[in-house]
Structure 1
Amino acid sequence: MRILLVEDDIQLADALKTSLSHEGLTINHVTSGAQALSSIQAGDCDMLILDLGLPDMDGISVLKSIRNSKNLLPVLILTARDSMDDKIRGLDTGADDYLIKPFEMQELFARIRVIERRLGTAEQSVISIGNVSLNTAEHSVTLDAQPLELSKKDYMVLRSLMENAGRVVSKDKLESSLYEWGEEISSNAIEVRIHHLRRKLPDGFIKTIHGVGYTIKKV
């Protein structure tokens, strides 16, 4: 899942990027409302975490612009504005959730998981296909109930494929879910990840659709 973080506090943004990346999420960061709207228009994210106190415009104006364009992108407001009027205004303008700073990171993770379930990218915490199970809350994978040791990026590729079981996931989509802006991507990065996974998973679990991408068949 690709999250666009709109936050002008660089120290907080860096901490959020680190913590959310550890949760298997891809985080891109901008510091202004104009940058956020440009990125959203380009379709670079699946979800928005939005601060309201931005240097160029109020976050509510960003949210209004998103909703006025009929964009249903999930938006979680993350702000120090703690009055009930501010919260009601944010939700009425079209935010999916509203979390007040300071906050507990585990609560933020839980709220993101709720939005993931609404999107249909994670209907439940445990996704089981055949004898392979992936737990999105614990970031773990088991084969025949035995734990599999996977690197973070291998896990993220497998999660994307299992969440989209029955559909073909393109190489470009896997890359965009795996790497942040500006991160160098080798030409065979996804192929390497798929190779690592196939060595540990049952034969034929991940299928290549030549010229298109990869898929895992629903059982």
Structure 2
Amino acid sequence: MSQPATPPSVPTSSAALRLALLEDDDILRDRVLVPGLTRHGFDVAPMRTAAQLHAALEQRNFDLLVLDIGLPDGDGFTLTNQLQIGRPSMGIVILSGRDTSPDKVHGLSQGADAYLTKPVEIEMLAATLFSVARRLTRPDTTPVAGLAEWQLQDDGWCLFSPDGKAVALTQSERRVLMCLWRTCGKLVSRDALLTTLGGDMGLEIDPHRLDALLHRLRQKVQDRTGMALPLTAVRGAGYLFIPQG
């Protein structure tokens, strides 16, 4: 049996996707969306008006935009169309309380990459944003027959199934999965994963926490992708992660 791998260092910071969040509901924006999306690794710039967005765009570029349709100083559909024409490289996700088919069709026809309705699970919103970002940066990527495999985003915040479905990861899930990913095909000991989960502070982690985290991660991956996470537990030793089937 191969020897358990030594845990690689996992970066605590990386070039996060820059996200403009345009939402005029202060409580939803500041108490739910901002902390939730930050927890999934996004660099979030919150704002409540179209004017604030235009001002921000003069100072910096954004990879992604989440916006509501009903804005205090404009129409989200019109804004979407303007931005799609003027900034085609920026991914746009509409997040609205209007859930009728005509609204969804109109939003997508104006140039939105995705249309989600409130209330939305943060993990679903994050996964959608990662999927949009991936499509924009890999427009010519197509699966190769017989070579389909799982992919982990470079900064570790999102896992993609072989058919391209996205699973947004939390900080703890990211740490553990990056440790497994960097040693693909090699046995990683439980102690190594516990050390990784403890982070730079060297915190002592209860082994049951690791078990619970992996159980939740397996279930989340199954729910989001319809496929099992390619992670094998080796009794009394550790885990093997083999992304290519």
Using the size of structure 2 for normalisation, the TM-score is: 0.53
1:77 aligns with 2:103: no
Alignment partners' CA distance in 1, 2:157 and 2:117: 28
Aligned to 1:55: 72
Q: Pick closer, same or farther for the CA change 1:135–1:96 going to 2, 3 Å.
A: closer
Measured after TM superposition, the shift of residue 29 of structure 1 is: 0.6
Instruction: Give the counterpart letter for 2:152 in structure 1.
Output: V
How many residues align? The count is: 146
Q: CA deviation at 1:104?
A: 2.0
User: 1:67 deviation in Å?
Assistant: 2.4
* Greater mean deviation of Cα atoms: 42-51 or 27-36: 42-51
Q: 1:90 to 1:41 in 2, by over 3 A?
A: farther
Structure 1 residue 139 and structure 2 residue 174: aligned? yes
Q: Counterparts of 1:29 and 1:105 in 2: how far apart (Å)?
A: 16
Instruction: Read off the aligned partner of 2:65 and give its amino acid letter.
Output: L
The answer to whether structure 1 residue 5 and structure 2 residue 40 are counterparts is no
Evaluate the alpha carbon distance shift between residue 64 and residue 16 of structure 1 in structure 2; reply closer, same or farther with a 3 A threshold. same
Instruction: Give the secondary-structure state (helix, strand or coil) at the position aligned to 1:139.
Output: helix
- Structure 1 residues 9-158: aligned runs within 5 Å: 9-14=25-30, 15-120=32-137, 125-126=151-152, 134=156, 136=158, 137=169, 138-140=173-175, 141-142=178-179, 144=183, 145=188, 146-147=192-193, 148-149=196-197, 150=199
Coordinate RMSD, CA, aligned? 2.5
| Of 110-119 and 86-95, the range deviating more from structure 2 | 110-119
2: CA distance between counterparts of 1:118 and 1:30?
A: 25
User: Structure 1, unaligned stretches of length 5 or more?
Assistant: 152-219
Q: CA offsets per residue over residues 77-119 of structure 1, 9 Å max, x none?
A: 0001111111111000000000011122221122122113213
Partner letter of residue 174 of structure 2? Answer: H
Aligned to 2:239: none
Offset of 1:43 from its aligned partner? 3.2
Larger Rg: 2
**1:195-210 matched pairs, under 5 angstroms:** none
Residue 60 of structure 1 deviates from its aligned partner by 1.1
- Deviations along 1:192-215, one digit per CA (max 9) or x if unpaired, are xxxxxxxxxxxxxxxxxxxxxxxx
1:35–1:127 Cα change, 3 Å:
closer
Question: Residues 56 and 90 (structure 1 numbering): CA distance in 2 closer, same or farther, change over 3 Å?
Answer: same
The runs of 5 or more residues in structure 2 that have no matched partner are 1-16, 142-149, 159-168, 201-245
Partner-residue secondary structure (3-state), 2:94: strand
User: Structure 2 vs 1, CA of residues 69 and 44 (structure 1 numbering), >3 Å: closer, same or farther?
Assistant: closer
Task: Give the share of equivalent positions with the same residue, in percent.
Answer: 30
Which structure exhibits the higher relative contact order, with contacts defined as CA atoms closer than 8 Å and separated by 6 or more residues? 2
TM-score by length of 1: 0.59
